[in-house]
Amino acid sequence: MSTALERRNSPLATPSNLGANAVRDVSGALTMLLADVFSLYLKTKNFHWHMWGLHFRDYHLMLDEQGDQIFAMTDAIAERARKIGGRTIHSIGDIGRRQRLMDNDADYVTPDDMLAELRDDNLRLVEFMRETHSLCDEHGDVATAGLLENWIDETERRVWFLYETARD
């Protein structure tokens, strides 16, 4: 029987029939994607909380809905990385070191700028997801690729809504 210290120091080696390189590459890409999804979630909620103006109610509700959808991806992304034998993020600091989407800490952002920034960030997220999908294709990881296809569709829908909402 192993001790608590031995268990704590043992590797997280979830069995997988993907090769070691596939586990490393795909779980690494998923971890980067997870950091971006968390940062987009927080930015979406930031803009939701700080929305103002003539269309406040509509924008506020839309961003709340989008935030819920973005947050719903987080657990599935992290669990997929673990299912294939990889590791994932551990902390807010870990997210900050890995995220590719920029934060917005401005005290004042116009509603139009909020919508445009979220649209652009969602477009970048689609790009990151497509890159991860290509990596999954290279390694034959059809399960992760299938999840990504659904998330790409959801993210493109958010882009569409943000674009159409902000159009004159």
Average pLDDT score, the chain: 94
- Superfamily of the domain at 17-166: Ferritin, core subunit, four-helix bundle (1.20.1260.10)
Q: How far apart are CA 70 and CA 81, in angstroms?
A: 17
pLDDT of residue 18: 86
pLDDT of residue 12: 64
Q: Which sign does the torsion angle of CA 59, 63, 148, 116 carry?
A: positive
| C-alpha closest to that of 64 among 106, 23, 10, 118 | 118
For the chain, 168 residues long, give each residue's pLDDT as a single digit of tens: 567 666 555 566 677 888 889 999 999 999 999 999 999 999 999 999 999 999 999 999 999 999 999 999 999 999 999 999 999 999 999 999 999 999 999 999 999 999 999 999 999 999 999 999 999 999 999 999 999 999 999 999 999 999 999 987
DSSP letters, 69-90, are HHHHHHHHHHHHHHHTT-----
**Residue-wise pLDDT tens digits, 74-99:** 999 999 999 999 999 999 999 999 99
140 burial class (0-12, 13-18, 19+ CB within 10 angstroms)? exposed
